[in-house]
Amino acid sequence: MIRFNVRGENIEVTESIRDYVEKKVSKIEKYFGENIEGTAHINLKVYPEKTAKVEVTIPLPNIVLRAENTSQDLYGSIDLVTDKLERQIRKHKTKLNRRHRQKQSAAEIFIVDSVDALLEEEPEKIVRTKRVSLKPMDTEEAILQMDLLGHNFFIYTDAETDETHIIYRRSDGNIGLIETE
């Protein structure tokens, strides 16, 4: 059902690490139907300051599950990433049920009974709506505006191309740019 592609950066992936990763990540298989196959891409990184980062990406037919965690404990990060993946499954299943109000559509991907037990949390809802006018500006000005507002992202119209762009602050502290088509 789920195949594993485990690789390490600045760490040798030993058999015990590989077994632990496969054991933990394979726990989420119980939420999928029998006809779903995927490959879990697991990337383990160890940084010079002795922190470990675990990234798991599982592309499936209708969704992509992705989670990452950085901590001092490699095995603890693996556990937390598995928990994050389970929350994503619960969230996606809730959205499917709300959208279609039929368990048939959710059953195409997930085994419904297994996920129903996880649906204890309240679904997310929109609590505030804002309207903004997109002022033409260059990227440097947009970064400055984002920092002045104290936000993690900023939407603007590029002055040269007249296209809408989004800049955001990445978890590593750098800036990312999303260009729309």
Phi and psi at residue 120, to the nearest 5°: -85, -25
CATH number of 136-179: 3.30.505.50
CATH architecture group of domain 2-116: 2-Layer Sandwich (3.30)
The residues, ordered by sequence, that sit 6+ positions from 27 with a Cβ below 8 Å of its Cβ are 82, 86
Q: Is the pLDDT of residue 2 over 60?
A: yes
CB 25 within 8 A of CB 2: yes
Question: Which of 52-66, 133-147, 166-180 is predicted least confidently?
Answer: 52-66
Rounded to 5, what percent of the chain is helix, strand, coil? 35, 30, 35
pLDDT confidence band for 103 (50 / 70 / 90): very low
How high is the pLDDT of residue 112?
Answer: 52
Query: Where are the chain's structural domains?
Result: 2-116, 136-179
For 110-155, write each residue's pLDDT tens digit: 555 555 544 555 567 788 887 877 888 899 888 888 887 778 899 9
- Per CATH, 2-116 and 136-179 having the same topology is answered no
Whether the pLDDT of residue 79 is over 70: the answer is yes
Which pTM value belongs to this model?
A: 0.55
